A and B are shown apart, each in its own frame.
Chain A
Amino acid sequence: MALLELLIGSALSQQVVILGTIVVYGLLLYRQPDVARESAVGGLRQFVSLFTLIVAALFLASAIGTLIPRGAASHFLGEAAGPGGVVLAGLLGGFLPGGPYAVYPIVDGIADQGASLAAVIAMLTGYGAIGIGKVPYGLVFFDLPTVAIRLLVGVIGTVLVAGIAFLLI
């Protein structure tokens, strides 16, 4: 990874955030230097106070990724059929670790093995709405009840979407 990529990120979304922050602070320094100084101190203080938590969350997320084999879902869902199979596809999608670049090819592979379109939609929905891999990050910035509510809504929403997808698609 080149030094420039380390500094401003390799993905466009990372670059937007990092360069956007530089632009915002540049404008603030020019127009409201006191606000710029206060915001920078506040942000740095939060960075220091959250540092061990951030490191732990990253290590936990990577351990989840190592411990849950990515091929496990295809094991269960060779040819997901019936409403139960579609709901199961959605819930299993919620446990797939990693970013979309890692998970989407797995879902595509399961589709190639014969899973229905409804099962694929349910799995993609579960991956986003439940997203078990995002829980450690959630606990860095929100409290436990908030993360639990998001998970509960994600599970119920995924089951509902899976049921509707099975009926309509």
Chain B
Amino acid sequence: MQAYEYLIGRSWGQRVVIIGTAVLYLYLAVANPAAAIESARQGLGTLVRLFTLILASLLLASALESLLPEEAVMRYLGGGGGPANTVLAGLLGGALMGGPYATYPIMRSVRRSGASYGALVAMYVGYSAIGVGRIPFGLVIFSPTVVALRLVFAVGLTVVAALAIWALLPDRELSMDEPTGD
């Protein structure tokens, strides 16, 4: 990895985030300095609050790559197992606890251990739609009926989406996982 890639990222998606953030803050600093300061203050606060979580998540994901039994991951989440594997991946994604910084590295580790691309996308969709970790917050604010209805629709959405992903999405490599020779 080149030095500049540490600063602006390796893929264009990453560069869009880094350069886009810099441009947005420059614009805000001129057009709305108060919003720029408030946003930067909140961003810095979040970074301080999540620092150990982000570090722990990346260390845990790295350990999982060594510990996950590749044979089992390929059997249950690999591309050869049919639609049931993709649906299972979606539901497993829905059961992951924690924010995106805790769960996304784990999903990537599962992918690197042999899960198909469709299983990765289904996990990503299932985590977003179902989000078991949001249930306690839901029960504080809403009635159990609302929380249960949200869950039923989210599980239905995840299952239908997983079947569509299995049927329509070809297998591919994540661009950041392609070998670069470094």
Residues on B with C-beta less than 8 A from A17 are 53, 56-57, 60, 98, 102
- Those of B23-51 within 8 Å (CB) of chain A: 24-25, 28, 35-36, 38-40, 42-44, 46-51
Alpha-carbon distance between A46 and B35 when the two chains are bound, in angstroms: 32
Q: Take A6-B49, A43-B61, A53-B14 as given contacts and tell me if A108 and B124 are in contact as well, using a CB distance cutoff of 8 Å.
A: no
With both chains docked as a complex, state the minimum distance between the C-beta of A134 and any C-beta of chain B, in angstroms: 5
Q: How many A-B residue pairs have CB under 8 A?
A: 261
Residues on A with C-beta less than 8 A from B138 are 100, 104, 124
Q: Take A8-B52, A9-B52, A165-B153 as given contacts and tell me if A108 and B13 are in contact as well, using a CB distance cutoff of 8 Å.
A: no
A121 is an interface residue with CB less than 8 A from chain B: yes
A43: contacting residue among B48, B49, B59, B137, CB under 8 A: B59
Which DSSP category, helix, strand, loop or mixed, fits chain A's interface? helix
A46 touches B58 (CB 8 A): yes
B53 touches A42 (CB 8 A): no
Residues on B with C-beta less than 8 A from A144 are 11-13, 16, 175
With both chains docked as a complex, state the minimum distance between the C-beta of A96 and any C-beta of chain B, in angstroms: 13
A137: contacting residue among B18, B100, B131, CB under 8 A: B100
B53 touches A59 (CB 8 A): no
B108: contacting residue among A56, A142, A165, CB under 8 A: A142
Count residues on chain B whose CB falls below 8 Å from chain A CBs: 90
One digit per residue, 1 when the CB lies within 8 angstroms of any chain B CB and 0 when it does not, for chain A 82-111 equals 000000000000000001110011011000
Residues on A with C-beta less than 8 A from B102 are 13-14, 17
Which DSSP category, helix, strand, loop or mixed, fits chain B's interface? helix
With both chains docked as a complex, state the minimum distance between the C-beta of A131 and any C-beta of chain B, in angstroms: 5
Q: Take A16-B97, A129-B128 as given contacts and tell me if A141 and B108 are in contact as well, using a CB distance cutoff of 8 Å.
A: yes
Residues on B with C-beta less than 8 A from A51 are 6
Alpha-carbon distance between A42 and B165 when the two chains are bound, in angstroms: 31
A62 touches B63 (CB 8 A): no
B60 touches A20 (CB 8 A): yes
